[in-house]
Amino acid sequence: PPERWFCLPSCRRYVAGGQCKSTVRLEGKVAIITGANTGIGKETARDLARRGKSAAVIVACRDLEKAEAAASEIRAETGNQQVIVKKLDLADTKSIREFAEKFLAEEKELHILINNAGVMLCPYSKTADGFEMHLGVNHLGHFLLTFLLLECLKQSAPARIVNVSSLAHHGGRIRFHDLHGEKSYNRGLAYCHSKLANVLFTRELARRLQGNCPELFAFAVGTKVTANSLHPGSVHSELVRHSFVMTWLWKIFSFFLKTPQEGAQTSVYCAVAEELDSVTGQYFSDCQPAYVSPRGRDDETAKKLWNVSCELLGIQWD
Residues 126-160 pLDDT 10s: 999 999 999 999 999 999 999 999 999 999 999 99
* pLDDT band, residue 221 (cuts 50/70/90): low
Q: Which helix (H) or strand (E) holds 299?
A: helix 299-313
21: CB partners within 8 A, 6+ apart = none
Measured CA to CA, the distance from residue 268 to residue 3 in angstroms comes to 35
Residues 37/66, Cβ–Cβ less than 8 Å: yes
Q: Once rounded to an integer, what is the mean pLDDT over residues 251-275?
A: 83
Q: Where are the domains of the chain?
A: 25-313
What is residue 316's DSSP assignment? -
pLDDT at residue number 235:
65
- For the cut 70, the answer to whether the pLDDT of residue 48 exceeds it is yes
Strand-by-strand arrangement of the 56-61 sheet: 83-87, 56-61, 30-34, 112-115, 159-164, 225-231, 283-285, 288-289
Pairing type for strands 30-34 and 56-61 reads parallel
* pLDDT band, residue 13 (cuts 50/70/90): low
Q: Which helix (H) or strand (E) holds 114?
A: strand 112-115
Annotated active-site residue in 185, 191, 283, 291: 191
* pLDDT band, residue 63 (cuts 50/70/90): very high
Measured CA to CA, the distance from residue 198 to residue 194 in angstroms comes to 6
- For the cut 60, the answer to whether the pLDDT of residue 30 exceeds it is yes
Q: What is the pLDDT of residues 95-121, one digit of tens each?
A: 999 999 999 999 999 999 999 999 999
- For the cut 80, the answer to whether the pLDDT of residue 86 exceeds it is yes
As a whole number, the mean pLDDT across the chain is 89
- For the cut 50, the answer to whether the pLDDT of residue 61 exceeds it is yes
Q: Once rounded to an integer, what is the mean pLDDT over residues 215-221?
A: 51
* pLDDT band, residue 88 (cuts 50/70/90): very high
Instruction: Say which CATH superfamily domain 25-313 falls into.
Output: NAD(P)-binding Rossmann-like Domain (3.40.50.720)
Name the percent of the chain lying above pLDDT 90.
81
pLDDT at residue number 317:
97
Q: Once rounded to an integer, what is the mean pLDDT over residues 197-221?
A: 78
Give the 3-state secondary structure of residue 296.
Answer: helix
pLDDT at residue number 113:
99
Residues 261/42, Cβ–Cβ less than 8 Å: no
191 among known catalytic residues:
yes
pLDDT at residue number 240:
47
